[in-house]
Structure 1
Amino acid sequence: MDFPLITDPFFYAVAIPAVLMLGISKSGFGAGFGSLAVPVIALSVTVPQAAAILMPLLLLMDLLGVAAFRKDFDLKFLRFLVPCGLLGTVVGALLFRLLDARMVAAIVGGFTLLFLAQRLLFAPRADSPPPPRWLGAMLTVTSGFTSFVAHAGGPPLSAYVIPLRLSPVKFTATMAAFFFVINLSKWIPYAWLGLLDMRNLATSLALLPLAPVGVWMGVRLARRISPVWFYRVLYIGMLLTGIKLLWDGVH
């Protein structure tokens, strides 16, 4: 039996670097770049199809990321983040058919750029208090929502977690565990919405060997980079993500 996978060469020209970029982001290094995966693949296919193709890849990447950083989670913090994120995925599932994914992308992109502008123009002092809990809850719900719609949950959550000044490894481990739960929760709703068809799953299978390569690259970088450069790369990733998502939404 032949699998009806996508055969368009242009699709793989954009999908291969996107998958590697997503794998690197799953290690925490360059986490902002991960949200570019769906917009980049959507240069060749629709946004919902791009999101569906990435689902099996995300599962494998999440498993690898959690295994690599299994001793470094902030469990107390995750008990706060995960329920808020799951609430966001429920909202995303209920509104998925009513929303234009590019409009959501524009909102996420604009928010990301505003956050970066605030961080650069009004840089917090070393003794600045952490963001309030209510703001963290709102941003985490938003992260779950945008993760469901376009796998773009990184920027909203980063806007809350970055000011907490976690170490690179702690940041990476906590983000990996959070998105493992969030992405796992999306399988049943994606199947219910009819996104997990054989064409998308067969295409995912063809791209699957790239998943561990990207995660391996990111894990090695995350464990060797200094905190200063870790967050610089994170900001660069968020900047490019914000510009790309906003551009896609506007045009």
Structure 2
Amino acid sequence: MKLALLSDLHANRQAFDACLAHARAQGAERFALLGDLVGYGADPRYVVQQAMALAAQGALLVQGNHDAQAVRPQPAAAQQAPSMAALSAAWTHAQLVAEERDFLAALPLTAVVDGILLVHATADAPERWRYADNAVVAQQSLDAATQHPGVQHVFCGHVHQQSLFYRGTGRSLMRFAPVAGVAIPVAPHRQWLATVGSVGQPRDGDARAMYALLDTRAWLLRFERVAYDHAAAAAAIRATGALPEFFAQRLERGQ
């Protein structure tokens, strides 16, 4: 099976469409969305509706922190100084209809399929929204995930960058910097944790969208970068008249 792993879509219609098209052209047979379908971007309804359609076709989905915030945004009266994320959550909540909010609310924090654990943040405490951006946190997440029988691979998002950790001969994890488009053997005799990057808001200085493609027949993992019309996505944010300008600039800079 070729499984396309997409995370942190962040209501970016243009990036999501580009990644879906790219993955299908690469032979993707199933999709997994690893959270943060919404937040920051201008098209939350479109992205959620596409996610609902994919779920009906057998896609795997987990909830991200921005999804949870959009379902139940913190009241402005409870905030001393609302953050940009909080402003985005309130705006997104108002855009979504009840069915779409219910869909986000019902998403699980983790999912397990065929020896693979999917989570937005970390498997040890998914509700805390920790970043698996270093070997210590990645190891804690992998240790927790591999308590599930048969699980050798963990895929997560939240970090907005692409990285791969694996357990060598000792207990400590080793970090590998992937190259886009180059397949990496991830045989299940080892244990692996990958952050698949962000479809809708890359933060490594490269504006191209990110996702990963896993071939479970050959156990090959390929991290992908996909060019898309980020200028149109930025223009859509500005056209809302409500979302911060910084969100548009971030897409243009890729950071």
TM range (shorter): under 0.3
Q: Which of structures 1 and 2 has the larger relative contact order (alpha carbons within 8 angstroms, sep 6+)?
A: 1
TM-score with structure 1 length normalisation?
A: 0.27
TM-score with structure 2 length normalisation?
A: 0.27
Of Structure 1 and Structure 2, the greater strand share is in 2
Of Structure 1 and Structure 2, the greater helix share is in 1
